[in-house]
Amino acid sequence: MLALQQIKDRITAAVPGARVEIIPNASPANQPSLLLDAGHARQIARFLRDDPELCFDYASNVTGVDWPEKTIKEKVIVKKIIDGVEKEVEELAERKTSAFLEAVYHLYSMALRHGPLVIRLRTGNRADRVTLPSLTPVWRSCEFQEREIFDLYGIQFEGHPDLRRILMWDNFEGHPMRKDYVPVENQEAIP
Q: What is the 3-state secondary structure (H, E, C) of the chain?
A: CCCHHHHHHHHHHHCCCCCEEEECCCCCCCCCEEEECHHHHHHHHHHHHHCCCCCCCEEEEEEEEEECCEEEEEEEEEEEEECCEEEEEEEEEEEEECCEEEEEEEEEECCCCEEEEEEEEECCCCCCCCEEECCCCCCHHHHHHHHHHHHHHCCEEECCCCCCCCCCCCCCCCCCCCCCCCCCCCCCCCC
Confidence at residue 131, expressed as pLDDT on a 0 to 100 scale: 98
Between CA 91 and CA 26 the distance in angstroms is 24
Q: Residues 113-163: pLDDT tens digits?
A: 999 999 999 999 999 999 999 999 999 999 999 999 999 999 999 999 999
pTM of the model: 0.88
Between CA 30 and CA 189 the distance in angstroms is 42
Q: Higher pLDDT residue, 122 or 72?
A: 122
Q: Higher pLDDT residue, 93 or 189?
A: 93
Given pLDDT bands bounded at 50, 70 and 90, which one contains residue 188?
low
Residue 94, φ and ψ in degrees, nearest 5: -110, 140
> How big is the CA angle at 19 (ends 18 and 23), to the nearest 5 degrees?
140
Given pLDDT bands bounded at 50, 70 and 90, which one contains residue 73?
confident
Given pLDDT bands bounded at 50, 70 and 90, which one contains residue 186?
low
Between CA 78 and CA 167 the distance in angstroms is 52
Q: Residues 3-59: pLDDT tens digits?
A: 999 999 999 999 999 999 999 998 888 899 999 999 999 999 999 999 999 999 999
Confidence at residue 159, expressed as pLDDT on a 0 to 100 scale: 97
Q: Higher pLDDT residue, 96 or 191?
A: 96
Confidence at residue 87, expressed as pLDDT on a 0 to 100 scale: 85
Confidence at residue 190, expressed as pLDDT on a 0 to 100 scale: 59
How far does CA 180 lie from the centroid of its chain? 18
Per-residue pLDDT averaged across 99-108, rounded?
98
Domains of the chain: 4-67+99-158 (3.30.460.80)
Closest CA to 138 of 162, 167, 160: 160
Tell whether the model's pLDDT for residue 184 goes beyond 80: no
Specify the length of the chain in residues.
191
Between CA 43 and CA 16 the distance in angstroms is 10
